[in-house]
Structure 1
């Protein structure tokens, strides 16, 4: 106990001792706060998904009963604007509309509302209610009916969610795309196990730099501690007692830092909730962590700091004399490459099996294990690679700075690589995220002529196949009376069976196409759309003299096909066999005309299979909601990893220079110019990074490819990232340069005084 008290006294009187303890506490605080934020974000993603996926059918649910009947204990639900399907829109704002058909005595609980709405009633989210109140009724509010309440947070993605729960008749909901019968309305935390695994991998990728930061700050002032502990050994303390003292000294500031980190987590939660994912912020309550997790994170971090200090002190082998001298490291061995190579094999195996088409089931957990091995292997293999490269470089170095730097890296590969390990992990994480996001390409609106795709501003709605023709015509007549509606185009679907052509097929506007669709020269046409010649002319096509026109299916899709759409003249008898499928509404360019037409289509009595949307809006909904969500999160992960790496690099490099004050001071006293000393520092920082730089990028590409291919079942791939990736790598290298500049300033301020006092 006497030795412990003496040790704390020495610590309090050590030059910079208080600053060192404060630095450890501050670093641990930042690390714990980030650790809790990552855990909270993972939890929040699942909670948001569960709150927003309750209207979906059984595609993402298990145990769904297929033979339900409509009654008091079931409801018909048809969601729009979810999973990439076009939904409702107003002035470019996407609105999720959930149509519900329930009996008056329905016992099915609808999330976020008191009871299921009846026909003509609706609930709105707070953000949508505000928008409806500010917009003209005939442009937005009339689409839904009479508002009877506000949707609670239990059914909302976030505070900015645009959601309407609209009551209607069962006969209206049943024909809608994605409609299904439910006995229970509950969401799923993740749409598939693959997305859950992606979230876990993303969290692990961000946590590794956080762990590196915590491990670095717990070793601040290691040389100063070694010198002080040698003094304690001199007065009779045993090596184990010294190790216990080292652990206690590390645990105390770590506990304080961990507690501050918990407080910092609560302080930054409101700011973190402002991050917008999938068009909505988080509720602050989403970013919650269970109390037991906070306790484990705080105490675990403090315990880890103590264990590291205890083991380090025992392995150092402090004696009563010469403790301040430089300690030799155990040489790095090639066996440290084994985890890295094993990880690369493990993570690539599922993707290779999937790509080869083998009927072999590889568990998704294999990908996570491989990812952890690769990430850990980079940190373990780095010292050996740095030592190997420095050995070659030392034999070819010309100047004193290069020789000294190379020899120190060879003698202390772990210490030198530790300073850049955070940056190495950042480059790896940035590469994985940047390459992984290339699998989700958000398609831009195709700027093409009307002979290739329907005009971008045309409203197109799917109509129900079995609807009453007279009722449909009456509904279209009401739409035609709306101010701003110029023309209604009726489009049918032709199956292509037992009907011959009335003319030859050719691309619209082209007299000699390079290829023609099946059905030319008297053969049967493939399935396609049918419309009158006048309607085709209104859309911008050239039907010539044809009274009825066949055109291929891609015309009403949102994606460019790179050529004019194929058309063919049809006989009236052939056109009569087409099934009414689409309604295209052309409006003028006056303000409000498009939204009034959309409202009229929705409320005219037409039996719709899908809500009206323009090609611009359909393109915007072309990518799935969940994929876009994880693309956004990837960029947030990139930002966090980069910032953490900058802090880690600065702290570790400055700490290393302070710990080597004696050696560097002696070099200055022996006559080494300051410029040579700076060049030596640059080499010591740059070479360990350069030794693994290309390997890190390559492994990042491999990991991203393996994760995307394996978890998508081979349906997705990756491509080379755009120029933004090079910019991110440039930022990482720029942060390294900034850290070196910080070290230069530290060297100028610390070395002369320290060296003079030592001698």
Structure 2
């Protein structure tokens, strides 16, 4: 999705840069055709003119990247810096970019001179575009309605699948680009009805050539859509994660993964951990997965009182039942369905290359399969159990399995590091997880994702603004002669400048506003239906507003070129 958002404006920028001299190229090719050049020769000349600058530009970009990489590596990102090698794409990616840019230049040049071969005496006259049709609005409306219905259908689960968000974004993006020319045509029709010569000139231009009017602003609309849809989601999710204390591993608790420790090693570790200052109530746990009608449940098998004390779990009625289930999973347990436990580790530790020992059990059943007589609060989080099971319920002695977790509590970072040193020195591949490395790690990942999306949005806005400048300048250069004639006929320079500004500003405001609304719809749907956080509409409006204001300022600067390009002393050369 991020690649899709960045590749489109980059391709647009390259295509527009190649078309910047399209008008002069067409006239030159028409002159060569008049002198007897064949269509094949014209194509070869145009391809050569576009190919060589494309290759030089691509290679120059690689050189600038190599020179700027050490400086970029010094930039701090989330409190850390990079090695220059971290900012090095693979050889395939570099080769693809170096090859793709000249190809895009050649294709764009070939398309730009297709009219030059119509007649050898002159470049084909401009005709109204056929790209705009009312039916183009239908897919956009269908995408909006379909996306809204799909997001609304996820309200029952309280979670919006990432594939659904990506699909809705891609569909809305594609249909917005499809409907852009028709929206520009309608905007031009309304603009031409406003009073003033500038509005009439700009409106007629947009009405007759809506595709040319929409192309420059397509990248800016994409930047606004991306910003509104995704930049606001991640900080809201991060704040929600950081503010939630009842989900995931509790603060001040540790979970030592000792999957490759024998039962004797685990028992010795519990004894030694209990003797460390600042470490309290360590205990071993046998972890397992439990089959149900739906997704499997996670279970901890061991002494209930010791587990709840070490994991800081509250409101767990250990003395009331031997099988305790979270209230959120109780309905998935049926008294008529035996509970099968799997993904358990046998007592003997075998090397990875050894064949499984059929005499060593890797699962068990509950006998008899009871319905939980007690429930506990839902233990949300990937590092917490859905079920607490007394070892006496297993149809296989608990001694046939080795513990995979050691739970404990710590009162200071120094105590945690002492426990980590002890565990990792005695058990191969052992790790210790805390809330900071599991649940709060998710929040950190979300924050980093937000920073990455923010940087990508800034880069996208810069690329889109550059494409907008080139497109506006190219359009002005292509219509240099009509503007000269209008100025010679007495049209005020201010009127021509306003017309140039309105030609780009009108589709920018129309499609940019629509993109902002669609982005708000996607972002609000994900955050509101997810139920974790509210969409921060006030905090995110500044980004698209800044993009629009910067783009309008750039267009105002481009409009000032009218005076330079329509000077009277240059008319003789046209």
The normalised TM-score by structure 2 is 0.65
Quote the residue 2:204 is aligned against.
Answer: 407
CA contact (8 A) 1:601 1:612 kept: no
The residue aligned with 1:484 is none
**Is the 1:383–1:413 contact (alpha carbons within 8 Å) kept by the matching residues of 2?**
yes
Alpha-carbon separation, structure 1, partners of 2:100 and 2:468:
24
Distance in 2 between the 1:743 and 1:277 partners? 35
Alpha-carbon distance change, 236 to 706 in structure 1, aligned in 2, over 3 angstroms: farther
Matched ranges for 1:680-695 at <5 A: 680-695=499-514
Indicate which of 218, 229, 233 corresponds to 1:436. Answer: 233
The answer to whether the 8 A contact 1:390-1:410 is kept is yes
Question: Which position in structure 2 is the counterpart of 1:750?
Answer: 565
What's the offset of the Cα at 1:404? 1.1
Q: Residue 129 of structure 2 aligns to a residue in which SS?
A: coil
Q: 5+ residue gaps in structure 1?
A: 1-200, 447-451, 480-488, 500-551, 558-579, 586-593
In structure 2, the partner of 1:634 is 453
User: 1:371 touches 1:703 (CA, 8 Å); kept in 2?
Assistant: yes
Structure 2 residue corresponding to 1:419, chosen from 207, 210, 216? 216
1:377 aligned to 2:377?
no
Distance 2:64 2:278 in 1: 62
* Aligned-partner SS, 1:330: coil
Moved more, 254-263 or 307-316: 307-316
Structure with the larger RCO, 1 or 2 (CA within 8 Å, 6+ apart): 2
1:231 to 22, 25, 31: 31
Which of these residues, 294, 298, 317, is aligned with residue 496 of structure 1?
A: 317
Give the corresponding residue for 1:725: 540
Matched, 1:209 2:9: yes
Change beyond 3 A, Cα 1:313–1:263? same
Per the TM alignment, residue 254 of structure 1 is displaced from its structure 2 partner at its CA by 1.5
Q: Quick one: distance in 2 between partners of 1:371 and 1:677?
A: 38
SS of residue matched to 1:440:
helix
- Contact 2:273 / 2:419 at 8 angstroms: preserved in 1? no
Residues 1:675 and 2:494 are matched in the alignment: yes
Show CA shifts across 1:607-654 (max 9, x none): 9x99798x9x69993644443332221111111111111211111112
Q: CA deviation at 1:387?
A: 0.7
Residues 335 and 264 of structure 1, relative CA distance in 2, 3 Å threshold: farther
Deviation per residue, 1:159-187 (Å, 9 max, x gap):
xxxxxxxxxxxxxxxxxxxxxxxxxxxxx
Cα deviation for residue 217 of structure 1 reads 0.8
User: What SS does the corresponding residue of 2:121 show, helix, strand or coil?
Assistant: coil
- Correspondence 1:201-600 to 2 at 5 A: 201-239=1-39, 241-274=41-74, 276=76, 279-315=79-115, 318-323=118-123, 326=126, 328-330=128-130, 332-337=132-137, 340=140, 344=144, 351=151, 353-355=153-155, 364=163, 371-395=169-193, 397-442=194-239, 460-462=252-254, 474-476=275-277, 495-496=316-317, 585=411
**Contact 2:73-2:82 within 8 A present in 1 as well:** yes
C-alpha change, 1:243 and 1:612, in structure 2 (3 Å) is closer
**Equivalents in 2 of 1:214, 1:348: separation in Å?**
35
Instruction: Quote how far apart the aligned CAs of 1:249 are.
Output: 2.0
Q: Deviations over 1:393-445 (max 9, x none)?
A: 322x1111111110111112122222222211211222222233245223698
Moved more, 368-377 or 297-306: 368-377
Tell me, yes or no, if the aligned pair for 1:668 and 1:674 is still in contact at 8 Å: yes
Structure 1 length-normalised TM: 0.50
Check if 1:653 corresponds to 2:468.
no
SS of the equivalent of 2:88 reads: coil
- SS state of the match for residue 252, structure 2? strand
Gaps of 5+ in 2: 257-265, 281-308, 321-375, 382-405
- For residues 703 and 492 of structure 1, the distance between their equivalents in structure 2, rounded to whole angstroms, comes to 37
Count of residue correspondences: 447
Q: Which has the higher helix share?
A: 2
Pair 314,644 (structure 1): closer, same or farther in 2 beyond 3 Å: same
Note closer, same or farther for the CA distance 1:754–1:413 as it changes in structure 2 (3 Å cut): farther
CA distance in 2, matches of 1:240, 1:473: 85
SS in 1 for 2:32: helix
Distance 2:540 2:562 in 1: 33
In structure 1, how many angstroms separate the alpha carbons of the residues matched to 2:275 and 2:10? Answer: 64
Deviation at 1:743, TM superposition (A): 1.0
Contact persistence 2:240–2:532 (CA under 8 A): no
The answer as to whether partners of 2:238 and 2:443 remain within 8 angstroms in 1 is: no
Name the CA shift for 1:645/1:473 in 2 (closer, same or farther; >3 Å).
closer
CA distance in 1, matches of 2:161, 2:451: 28
Distance in 1 of aligned mates of 2:421 and 2:99: 60
Equivalents in 1 of 2:216, 2:181: separation in Å?
11
1:80-119 aligned within 5 A? none
Query: Are the equivalent residues in 1 in contact too, given 2:213–2:504 (CA < 8 A)?
Result: yes
Secondary structure in 2 aligned to 1:219?
Answer: helix
Check conservation: 2:214, 2:507, Cα contact below 8 A.
Answer: yes
- Secondary structure class of the residue paired with 2:239: coil
Structure 2 contact 189–204 (Cα < 8 Å) conserved: yes
Shift of 1:299: 2.5
